[in-house]
Protein backbone atom coordinates (compact mmCIF):
# COMPACT_ATOMS: atom_id res chain seq x y z
CA UNK A 1 0.00 0.00 0.00
CA UNK A 2 1.26 3.47 -0.85
CA UNK A 3 2.02 5.94 1.94
CA UNK A 4 -0.01 9.18 2.15
CA UNK A 5 1.66 12.23 0.69
CA UNK A 6 4.27 13.74 3.02
CA UNK A 7 4.95 10.39 4.76
CA UNK A 8 7.69 7.96 4.06
CA UNK A 9 6.92 4.27 3.76
CA UNK A 10 8.21 3.57 7.28
CA UNK A 11 5.63 5.91 9.03
CA UNK A 12 7.82 8.98 9.64
CA UNK A 13 6.12 12.33 8.91
CA UNK A 14 8.41 14.31 6.67
CA UNK A 15 6.13 17.31 5.95
CA UNK A 16 4.03 19.67 8.09
CA UNK A 17 0.70 21.11 7.01
CA UNK A 18 0.96 24.86 7.84
CA UNK A 19 -2.55 25.82 6.71
CA UNK A 20 -4.14 25.59 10.21
CA UNK A 21 -1.23 27.59 11.65
CA UNK A 22 -1.72 30.35 9.06
CA UNK A 23 -5.47 30.40 9.74
CA UNK A 24 -4.95 30.81 13.47
CA UNK A 25 -2.33 33.53 12.98
CA UNK A 26 -4.62 35.51 10.63
CA UNK A 27 -7.47 35.35 13.16
CA UNK A 28 -5.13 36.56 15.91
CA UNK A 29 -3.89 39.37 13.65
CA UNK A 30 -7.45 40.55 12.95
CA UNK A 31 -8.30 40.50 16.67
CA UNK A 32 -5.13 42.46 17.45
CA UNK A 33 -5.85 45.12 14.81
CA UNK A 34 -9.45 45.62 15.98
CA UNK A 35 -8.59 45.86 19.68
CA UNK A 36 -5.57 48.10 19.07
CA UNK A 37 -7.77 50.56 17.13
CA UNK A 38 -10.28 50.70 20.00
CA UNK A 39 -7.60 51.20 22.68
CA UNK A 40 -5.56 53.88 20.85
CA UNK A 41 -8.40 56.09 19.58
CA UNK A 42 -9.59 58.59 22.21
CA UNK A 43 -13.34 58.98 22.50
CA UNK A 44 -13.78 62.74 22.19
CA UNK A 45 -11.01 65.26 22.79
CA UNK A 46 -12.18 67.68 25.47
CA UNK A 47 -10.71 70.93 26.66
CA UNK A 48 -12.02 70.84 30.20
CA UNK A 49 -11.77 73.87 32.48
CA UNK A 50 -9.52 73.69 35.53
CA UNK A 51 -11.04 73.55 38.98
CA UNK A 52 -10.83 76.75 41.01
CA UNK A 53 -8.61 76.55 44.09
CA UNK A 54 -9.01 78.88 47.05
CA UNK A 55 -9.48 82.49 45.94
CA UNK A 56 -8.76 81.77 42.28
CA UNK A 57 -11.76 82.33 40.02
CA UNK A 58 -11.83 81.47 36.33
CA UNK A 59 -12.71 84.48 34.18
CA UNK A 60 -15.17 83.90 31.34
CA UNK A 61 -16.10 86.34 28.60
CA UNK A 62 -19.82 85.84 28.02
CA UNK A 63 -21.07 86.67 24.51
CA UNK A 64 -24.84 86.53 24.01
CA UNK A 65 -26.15 86.64 20.43
CA UNK A 66 -29.90 87.35 20.34
CA UNK A 67 -32.10 87.09 17.26
CA UNK A 68 -32.84 90.80 17.30
CA UNK A 69 -30.89 93.57 18.91
CA UNK A 70 -27.22 94.08 19.69
CA UNK A 71 -24.76 91.50 20.96
CA UNK A 72 -24.20 91.45 24.71
CA UNK A 73 -20.74 90.96 26.18
CA UNK A 74 -20.77 90.37 29.93
CA UNK A 75 -24.24 91.92 29.97
CA UNK A 76 -23.30 95.15 28.15
CA UNK A 77 -24.70 95.85 24.68
CA UNK A 78 -22.16 96.42 21.90
CA UNK A 79 -22.84 98.71 18.95
CA UNK A 80 -20.77 96.83 16.33
CA UNK A 81 -18.31 94.01 15.61
CA UNK A 82 -15.23 96.17 16.19
CA UNK A 83 -16.40 96.81 19.76
CA UNK A 84 -16.53 93.03 20.32
CA UNK A 85 -12.97 92.63 19.09
CA UNK A 86 -11.76 95.55 21.23
CA UNK A 87 -13.51 94.19 24.32
CA UNK A 88 -12.12 90.69 23.71
CA UNK A 89 -8.56 92.01 23.23
CA UNK A 90 -8.80 94.10 26.41
CA UNK A 91 -10.14 91.15 28.42
CA UNK A 92 -7.45 88.83 27.02
CA UNK A 93 -4.74 91.33 27.92
CA UNK A 94 -6.00 91.24 31.51
CA UNK A 95 -6.11 87.43 31.72
CA UNK A 96 -4.09 85.15 29.43
CA UNK A 97 -6.21 82.11 30.40
CA UNK A 98 -9.47 83.81 29.36
CA UNK A 99 -12.25 81.65 27.92
CA UNK A 100 -15.21 82.87 25.91
CA UNK A 101 -18.69 81.36 25.98
CA UNK A 102 -20.96 82.09 23.03
CA UNK A 103 -24.65 81.76 23.85
CA UNK A 104 -26.80 82.19 20.76
CA UNK A 105 -30.56 82.06 20.45
CA UNK A 106 -31.87 79.03 18.57
CA UNK A 107 -33.23 81.27 15.80
CA UNK A 108 -29.86 82.95 15.10
CA UNK A 109 -28.46 81.97 11.68
CA UNK A 110 -25.41 79.72 11.82
CA UNK A 111 -23.33 82.19 9.79
CA UNK A 112 -23.81 84.86 12.46
CA UNK A 113 -22.53 82.55 15.20
CA UNK A 114 -19.53 81.58 13.06
CA UNK A 115 -18.89 85.29 12.40
CA UNK A 116 -18.80 85.95 16.16
CA UNK A 117 -16.45 82.98 16.57
CA UNK A 118 -14.17 84.42 13.85
CA UNK A 119 -14.18 87.82 15.55
CA UNK A 120 -13.12 86.28 18.86
CA UNK A 121 -10.38 84.24 17.21
CA UNK A 122 -9.22 87.35 15.36
CA UNK A 123 -8.91 89.09 18.73
CA UNK A 124 -6.66 86.27 19.94
CA UNK A 125 -9.16 84.25 21.96
CA UNK A 126 -8.67 80.59 21.12
CA UNK A 127 -10.54 79.01 24.04
CA UNK A 128 -14.15 79.29 23.00
CA UNK A 129 -17.14 77.26 24.17
CA UNK A 130 -20.82 77.30 23.26
CA UNK A 131 -23.56 77.61 25.83
CA UNK A 132 -27.08 76.22 25.59
CA UNK A 133 -30.13 76.17 27.77
CA UNK A 134 -31.46 72.77 28.89
CA UNK A 135 -34.70 71.61 27.30
CA UNK A 136 -37.67 73.21 29.03
CA UNK A 137 -35.63 76.09 30.49
CA UNK A 138 -36.08 78.54 27.62
CA UNK A 139 -37.47 81.99 28.26
CA UNK A 140 -40.71 81.24 26.38
SS3 track for 50-64: CCCCCCCCCCEEEEE
Question: What percent of the chain is predicted at pLDDT more than 90?
Answer: 14
Task: Provide the 3-class DSSP secondary structure of residue 103.
Answer: strand
User: Rounded distance, CA 130 to CA 63, Å?
Assistant: 9
Q: Delimit the domains of the chain by residue range.
A: 60-131
How much of the chain, in percent, has pLDDT values that exceed 70? 73
Quick: pLDDT tens for 26-52: 999 999 888 887 776 555 565 656 655
pLDDT tens per residue, range 52-87: 555 556 678 888 888 888 888 888 888 888 888 989
The better pLDDT of the pair 41, 95 is held by 95
**What are the helix (H) ranges across the chain?**
19-40, 81-94, 110-122
pLDDT of residue 138: 46
Q: Which CATH number describes the domain made up of 60-131? A: 3.30.420.270
Amino acid sequence: MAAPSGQAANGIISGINVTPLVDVMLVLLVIFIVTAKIIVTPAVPLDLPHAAHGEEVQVVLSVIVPVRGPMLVNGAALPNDEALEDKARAALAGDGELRAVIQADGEVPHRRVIHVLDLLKGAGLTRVAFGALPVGKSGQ
